Amino acid sequence: MIDRLFSALGGFTLAASADRLTARSEFGRRVRAIYRSVRFRRVLIAFDLTLIFSFIVLTFVPAADWVFWFNSLLAGLITLELMGRIVAARERVRCLMQLDTFIDLLIVISLTVPAIVGSFAFLRVFRAVHLFEVVGLGHALRIRSHWFAENEEVIRNGAQLLIFLLVTSAVVYEAQVGRNPSIATFSDALYFTVTTVTTTGFGDITLVGETGRLLSIAIMIAGISLFVRLAQAIIRPTKIQHECERCGLSRHDADAVHCKHCGNVVNIPSEGN
């Protein structure tokens, strides 16, 4: 009798555990579907842009109570997005260990603890990386827009250069504000970054200290390489990103029917023009 009772309880426990696992799996699939939807990706891009420009605008605004509450709202939204990203991930432990996760956690801390906002506030600009790294965004745009497919490399290189300018300007601002009278707002840092990257170097704004000189050197080297890549993408003949199923060649002519490497038929979406 007792054995039957324990067997029944064990079966009930196993069934309950299986139901919980099924419910979690179903919830994860639903969240994953939301993350992959085009509408959600657009909302996420709009949020990332808001986060980036809030950092830029707030460098011109004196400290006030509403700034703290606005930052707290942003921190709450980032936390929700981060939790959703973890739930949607197929490998959640790996997602937790990614650099993006740690950066988002630092952003949340910097937004909610005013004492260290000045130390990590610039990290929110790193959310610019999400603009082209959102799951499947490039693939979705490639299918929906033939113009994007033909100009994808130019757009991506231009976006990388823009992200580099934003992130570098944020680093310059954080490293020099309060120490360098020439760097008082984000626009000062952006002005210095652009003139340094283009090697124009007007000389009206320079970075102070040994770290400032090293930072200037790094900006010039990295910026020139990005400009060269963008120029190459503009000058080279138009290619479309489409992986050949047989040999894996990823770049083809816009009107290609066969892969130049192996001769396999490539089904490149087009408008028929």
pLDDT digits (tens, 9 = 90+) for 48-57: 888 878 877 8
Q: Which residues are bridge partners to 77 per DSSP? A: none
Q: Give the global pTM.
A: 0.63
Q: Which helix (H) or strand (E) holds 106?
A: helix 99-112
Please name the residue that has the structure tokens 């626009």.
Answer: 187
Cβ distance 172 to 207 under 8 Å? yes
Residue 18 lies in a domain: no
DSSP string, 174-215: HHHTTT-TT--SHHHHHHHHHHHHTT---SSS---HHHHHHH
d(CA 53, CA 124): 10
pLDDT of residue 12: 47
Number of structural domains (the chain) is 1
Residue 68 lies in a domain: yes
In the DSSP assignment, the letter for residue 238 is P
Residue 178 lies in a domain: no
pLDDT of residue 144: 63
Residue 130 lies in a domain: yes
Residue 22 lies in a domain: no
The predicted model gives 17-30 an average pLDDT of 63
What are the tens digits of pLDDT across the range 114-164?
655 555 666 777 776 665 555 445 555 665 666 666 666 677 777 777 778
pLDDT of residue 93: 82
Please name the residue that has the structure tokens 């997602």.
Answer: 95
What's the angle, vertex CA 218, arms to CA 216 and CA 221, rounded to 5?
110
What mean pLDDT value characterizes the chain? 74
Q: What are the φ/ψ torsions at residue 63 (nearest 5 degrees)?
A: -60, 135
Residue 31 lies in a domain: no
Domain that holds residue 106: 37-146
Residue 73 lies in a domain: yes
pLDDT over threshold 60, residue 25: yes
Query: Is 240 strand, coil or helix?
Result: strand
Residue 142 lies in a domain: yes
Q: Name the token pair of 202.
A: 């007007």
pLDDT over threshold 60, residue 35: yes
Query: Is 61 strand, coil or helix?
Result: coil
What are the tens digits of pLDDT across the range 189-241?
889 988 888 777 777 888 888 888 888 888 888 878 877 777 776 666 566 77
- Distances in Å between the Cα of 260 and the Cα atoms of 15, 238, 247, 248 are 56, 15, 10, 11
